[in-house]
Amino acid sequence: MTTANLKAAACELCEQHGGEVLYSNDSLRVVLIDDAHYPGFCRVIWHDHVAEMTDLQPAQRSLLMRTVCQVETALREVMQPHKINLASLGNMVPHLHWHLIPRYTDDAHFPQPIWATASRVTDADVLAQRRALLPALREAVARHAACQG
């Protein structure tokens, strides 16, 4: 985190990285969430404490959305999910961030959101195979996110 960040009192995304940092620049960071049921779950987090997309200047919004798309590309390339869920909620943490969640028809919540009640248990071997892809995902996110042109 840079000292130029606007910090909000008791904002966990201002005070902490929010996950394993896979990529960071002066404006944002991409983190990998440690979620046993959803390997590959990433967030793109704007460094400065703002709550809404319209708090950003148009060029900043473009940078943020380009990065979201680049992370989605890396997730699709490496994790090969059935679907990618994108969400920017901010109800619990009103600090601008996007969730990128690889989804599979056999995941615990499919087709419902991952925050719903689970409808099944994903096979442990399947989850282990997906976790085994994380080193390649780390490399792909760094490679794609660095292409800001």
Residue 2 scores a pLDDT above 70: no
Biggest distance spanned by C-alpha atoms of the chain: 45
CA-to-CA distance for 114 and 64, rounded, in angstroms? 23
Cβ–Cβ contacts within 10 Å for residue 30, how many?
Answer: 26
Give residue 83's identity as a one-letter amino acid code: K
Residue 126 scores a pLDDT above 70: yes
pTM of structure = 0.91
Confidence of residue 147 (pLDDT cuts 50, 70, 90): confident
Domains located in the chain, CATH noted: 12-144 (3.30.428.10)
Residue with tokens 């944002």: 28
Q: How far is CA 25 from CA 7, 116, 147, in A?
A: 17, 33, 12
- pLDDT (tens digit per residue) in 42-99: 999 999 999 999 999 999 999 999 999 999 999 999 999 999 999 999 888 899 999 9
Number of H helices, E strands in the chain: 4, 5
CB of 64 closer than 8 Å to CB of 44: yes
Give residue 90's identity as a one-letter amino acid code: G
CA-to-CA distance for 91 and 140, rounded, in angstroms? 30
Confidence of residue 6 (pLDDT cuts 50, 70, 90): low
